[in-house]
Amino acid sequence: MYSIVASPVLSRTFRRTLQLAALENLLPDAEVEAICRDIGHPWRDRQLSPGPTVRSMVYRGLNPDHSIAAVLADLAALLGPDTPAPTDSAWCQARSRLPEGVLAERIFRRALECRRRFGRICRWHGRWVFCIDGSTISMPDTPSLVEAFGYSHGSQGFSRFPIARLTFIELAGLNVIWNYRLDDYRCSEESQLYDMWHTLPAGCICLLDRKFCSFYNLAKLRQRRIGVVTPLHQGRDPQKLIRWGRPLGKNPWLVPLHLQPHTRKRYGDPSLPKVLFVRLIRVAFRRGTKIKVLWLVTTLMDPVEYPADEVAELYRSRWQIEPRIGSLKTTLEMNVLRSKSPQAARREVASIVLGHNLVWRLIHESAAATDTPVEDISFAGAVKVVLAFSASILHAPRRVRRQLHHKMLLQIARQTNHHPFGRVEPRLIKRCPVRYCYLREPRWKARLKCLS
């Protein structure tokens, strides 16, 4: 059974102190405790029970200062002079007690809720569209993180910090993360996608990068009635495929992909067909003064229901996942983690992704209330508004909280995004940083050398 004791006065005071009062309705204690019961996690009703712990972790992910000291300092200010604030050790122990499945389940539930409320106009030909892409993040150079995630190896040698590989599934049009996987750097993005296949609904469409354009991926996703749009893999010759296929118009062709013996031997899957027919689409576009050609492969075979021009425009919308990854890694500063153990690093990533989905839930609510296009609202501005209004909503009487929530939605709608779709930005910096030599060894070793 669950070891839940009676709630003391101190615990009730702590529960009423919400560091994210603006997200109070989206982070209820009852839902977190129900998830804990479903996965068989026992807990005691103390200060840092599962509900307050989750809110505190999400607050840390959204707060510009991601240090635990800053989170606890803000919490101590909210608790008042008579209630003691938890220590750093107590907060870290409460985070370690929280199962990783609680955060993962809440991420998925918030994405489902967002799709149910605001996803009516985000379908393409009546089908849901998902964008899939991968990235990497860095973390402190501790022995446990090095063992769990490892270093990357490139032309300049090994990296100076452990690197983890991340693969995201984004629900296109709603900009929420549907699912993700965090593994060591040696793990491939394809294997991470295989672990998330079961979460993709049948009948949806996946927009993939060219590294996912393999015979196995196309065949297995088609077996699950999932459409695929992806650039042709660089290892295949489009002209050779055209000679084997037949034209369906000026730019699309119906071409066969043959199963290679090494592919069948690698996967050992008898359900793979010997020949897979796909549509090959040639897309010509202008970049500056030059004409570029992009070859797209799709398993959407009906040229009448899915015209080639619309398929090309659909793949162009895959760009949406790049700003989402940028919001996570730049705005929420997930590119460099602060946690020093593998379990804490996974929970830190999960809390940041959960905060990302919650903010986008408010953005969609604000867009619906003010008739503002979602793409015109700045995610970074919305995060600042949520943090600013949390303090006023917490201390306001209950009769005026609804009015403050509406005012917050109006303020979110005013956060204009100054970088619309299709922008071009040079990858250059203007302000020169202070130049130091690179630290190519653990910092504790460098300290010992300074003292010797």
**Domains of the chain as residue ranges with CATH:** 9-98 (no CATH), 118-327 (3.90.350.10)
Confidence category of residue 1, pLDDT binned at 50, 70, 90:
very low
Answer with the residue of higher pLDDT: 44 or 419: 44
What's the mean pLDDT in 226-242?
A: 92
- pLDDT 10s digits, 285-329: 887 788 889 999 999 999 899 999 999 999 988 888 888 898 999
pLDDT tens per residue across span 15-40 = 555 677 888 888 888 888 899 988 88
CA pair distance 121, 288, nearest whole angstrom: 33
Q: What's the whole-number mean pLDDT along residues 172-197? A: 92
pLDDT for res 419: 62
Helices 68-79 and 50-62: crossing angle in degrees, nearest 10, is 120
Q: What is the pLDDT of residues 97-109, one digit of tens each?
A: 999 889 999 999 9
Q: Which two tokens stand for residue 427?
A: 């990858």
3 state SS for the chain:
CCCCCCCCHHHHHHHHCCCCHHHHHHCCHHHHHHHHHHCCCCCCCCCCCHHHHHHHHHHHHHCCCCCHHHHHHHHHHHHCCCCCCCCHHHHHHHHHHCCHHHHHHHHHHHHHHHHHHHCCCCCECCECEEEEEEEEEECCCCHHHHHHHCCCEECCEECCCCEEEEEEEEECCCCEEEEEEEEECCCCHHHHHHHHHHHCCCCCEEECCHHHCCHHHHHHHHHCCCEEEEECCCCCCHHHHHHHCEECCCCEEEEEEECCHHHHHHHCCCCCCCEEEEEEEEEEEEECCEEEEEEEEECCCCCCCCCHHHHHHHHHHHHHHHHHHHHHHHHCCCCECCCCCHHHHHHHHHHHHHHHHHHHHHHHHHHHHHCCCHHHECHHHHHHHHHHHHHHHHHCCHHHHHHHHHHHHHHHHCCECCCCCCCCCCCCCCCCCCCCCCCCCCHHHHHHHHHC
Torsion sign across C-alpha atoms 339, 341, 343, 349: positive
Reported as a pLDDT band with limits 50, 70 and 90, residue 200 is very high
pTM, full prediction = 0.89
Residue 7: the pLDDT is 42
Span 385-417, pLDDT tens digits: 999 898 888 888 888 888 999 999 999 999 987
Strand order in the sheet with 252-258: 176-184, 163-171, 129-138, 205-207, 227-231, 290-298, 275-287, 252-258, 246-247
How far apart are alpha carbons 40 and 373 in whole angstroms?
Answer: 42
Assess whether pLDDT exceeds 90 at residue 73.
no
